[in-house]
Amino acid sequence: MSDVFVSYKAEDRPRVEPLVEALEAEGLSVWWDARVGGGEAWREAIAEHLDSAACVIVVWSKRSTAPEGRFVRDEASRAQRHGTYLPVTIDKVQPPLGFGEVQALSLNAWKGDPTDPRYRALSACVHAMLGRTAPKASEQIHAPRVSRRTALATGGAAVAAAGAAGWLLLRPRKATANTIAVLPFANLSGNPSDKYFSDGMAEEVRSALAALGGLQVVARTSSEMLANADAVTAARRLDVANVVTGSVRRSPSTVRVSAQLVDGKNGIERWSQSFDRPLGDVLQIQSDIAANVARALSVELESKPDRSFAIGGTNNPQAQDLLLQATATEGEDSSAPALRRIALLQQATQLDPNYAEAFARLGLQQELWASTWARNAAEKDRNEAAATKAVTRAIEIAPNLALAHSALGVIFHNQLRMSRALPETERSVRLPGADAAAFLNHALTLSQVGRQGEAERTIAQAIELDPLNAVARAVQARILFAGRRFSDSIEAGRRALLIKSENTLAKALIGWDLIFLGRLDEAARALDALPPDDYRRLVGEAALAVRTGHKDRAAATVQQIERRYGDAANYQIAEIYSQTGERDQAIAALEAAWSKRDSGLASMLFDPFLDPVRKDPRFSQISQRIFA
């Protein structure tokens, strides 16, 4: 059988033929429907080759994504189920709904040159799926190689080329037996507005399993990206041995939850059960599911498993329902949803004054409001005080609640009390139930206090728990940037963009890394991918201006940042003045940032942009206030 199956719309055949020829030139056996013989039963032939191929390249175009591309979508679905799906675009299109979990590799306007970096990215992915190493372009054809500078000018293609290994982070390694993912539970209630409840039930099961301590549970962000995948495909993408799936049907008086534990390698069901309970008894269901899953996996349970599952929990189903409503919108990054989350969590804590998780989440949301949307210093201080009070209450109720200690660490961090932030984030990752966010917060704090090796290991743990979270990859890039590992930071940033192409932090870090590597033309093109008034772009462009002999442009950038961000950008202004060599202005901007308790100062000890002023005694005086 063939190594590679190519699925495409028949009208695109002339555009697909160069791809087939290039793959065959590398020694791969390729099947596409141009090979169907006149006497063959074509449907059976297609099905046979599709199912046997180790790699199925699905070519998305204007034709194949249109309604008449149904056959391509059918083939893509089949490839997804087998874990062999590799998407490619030849037009400026998005794959249809249900096929966007994996970033498509772009071959837009590709003319068949096998040395093109976009094709090299595709070749690397194909060979990796076959368990091989892709041959170098020079081993096949000796046409002039596209320079790295030219490749990066192609935007998304450059990300794919240099980050081909990043796409492969979605391919399986060798999952250990204690790894598990809980996919979103299907909402069978007949009311779309109940989706928060079914999603929340899945998250409660994740938390209960994580609290056991013997399982490595994939986080919500990554699990929800594979909501429409079958268990085997999800296991391969998330690199886990086991998958829990389920459904929820809720009526005004009862709830029915069905759950299944599936072997991620072969799809065989290891355990399943349905739970029919009065609505008031719903709290026990997630504990029961977790206990049964643990027993099926032979994970050792505590002597009183219900207590271990209930750290920070509640016995009030109405309070829990309010918390589930609040957590359902945590991905909505604007002020109105944030205010609604605060209101819902306040109601939950009023219904159950001992609901530690609700207090911890309330504190996190109040801190988010204080640091992001507060309209003035008084509102910021008021919300920050409320956040501290809520999280402190959570710890009083449940001293071993990892979420609460992580939240307190975040508050101390934003207050620039780093000597108090670090012990809290450190404790949070040592407690049962520590999630990916806790490891991420701790990793960032470790980096900012100079414990670089530990920071790199800790962010790797966060990524292991949440492999499809672009934010975690971007934070990894930031940590590597602080450690002056600029090339590695670029790779981490590109992996973030392969998951979420609009991650602005990752884009900015790639630009910054290229500046410090001296690849200035590439850096300029990378920064062009950011919005024109993004403060990270402006800092990078000012540094570029200095390095290209245009210091006057850097001064103009300071004025632009001041007009756009006011006092909120004092730290960024300090970075620019440091780059221009205006030491007194840089120190003055850092002092202004301190007066506003600008949380950006937490990065000052190891920020490469501040290297020119690092030896100034005034710099040390400011840093001692933060890190003493």
The string of DSSP letters for 276-287 reads: EEEGGGTHHHHH
Confidence grade of residue 302 (pLDDT, cut at 50, 70, 90): very low
Q: What is the mean pLDDT of residues 227-236?
A: 85
One domain, residues 133 and 188:
no
Q: Which residue has the tokens 């001692």?
A: 624
Residue 449 lies inside a defined structural domain of this protein: no
Residue 165 lies inside a defined structural domain of this protein: yes
Q: What is the CATH number of the domain that holds 49?
A: 3.40.50.10140
One domain, residues 593 and 610:
yes
Q: What is the mean pLDDT of residues 607-618?
A: 96
Residue 129 lies inside a defined structural domain of this protein: yes
- Predicted local distance difference test score (pLDDT) of residue 211: 80
Task: Determine which of 131-140, 316-325, 438-447 has the lowest per-residue pLDDT on average.
Answer: 131-140
Of 294, 310, 326, which residue sits at a domain end?
310
Q: What is the CATH number of the domain that holds 287?
A: 3.40.50.10610
One domain, residues 17 and 34:
yes
Angle at alpha carbon of residue 395, lines to 389 and 399, rounded to 5°: 170
pTM: 0.72
Of 290, 310, 330, which residue sits at a domain end?
310
One domain, residues 14 and 155:
yes
Residue 190 lies inside a defined structural domain of this protein: yes
One domain, residues 197 and 252:
yes
136 pLDDT higher than 50: yes
One domain, residues 141 and 120:
yes
Give the residue numbers spanning the domain of 216.
Answer: 179-310
Q: What is the mean pLDDT of residues 485-504?
A: 92
Confidence grade of residue 169 (pLDDT, cut at 50, 70, 90): very low
One domain, residues 185 and 304:
yes
- Predicted local distance difference test score (pLDDT) of residue 232: 87
- Predicted local distance difference test score (pLDDT) of residue 406: 96
- Regarding predicted confidence, which is higher, 376 or 624? 624
Residues 570 and 592: beta-carbon distance below 8 Å: yes
One domain, residues 164 and 184:
no
Residues 525 and 152: beta-carbon distance below 8 Å: yes
- Predicted local distance difference test score (pLDDT) of residue 439: 96
- Mean pLDDT across the chain, nearest whole number? 85
- Predicted local distance difference test score (pLDDT) of residue 212: 77
- Regarding predicted confidence, which is higher, 236 or 425? 425
- Residue-wise pLDDT tens digits, 24-56: 888 888 988 765 544 445 677 788 888 888 899
- Predicted local distance difference test score (pLDDT) of residue 174: 61
C-alpha dist (Å) from residue 291 to 256, 403, 599: 18, 22, 42
Domain count, the chain: 3
One domain, residues 141 and 228:
no
- Residue-wise pLDDT tens digits, 533-551: 899 999 999 999 999 999 9
- Predicted local distance difference test score (pLDDT) of residue 113: 75
One domain, residues 60 and 195:
no
Residue 490 lies inside a defined structural domain of this protein: no
Please state at what angle helix 452-465 crosses helix 470-482, rounded to 10 degrees.
170
Q: Which residue has the tokens 């109040």?
A: 366
- Predicted local distance difference test score (pLDDT) of residue 36: 55
How far apart (Å, rounded) are the C-alpha atoms in residues 396 and 405?
11
Of 310, 328, 360, which residue sits at a domain end?
310
One domain, residues 113 and 157:
yes
- Residue-wise pLDDT tens digits, 303-314: 344 443 457 888
One domain, residues 95 and 228:
no
**Three-state secondary structure call for residue 485:** coil
How far apart (Å, rounded) are the C-alpha atoms in residues 539 and 577?
10
- Residue-wise pLDDT tens digits, 335-381: 888 899 999 999 999 999 999 999 999 999 999 888 888 777 788 88
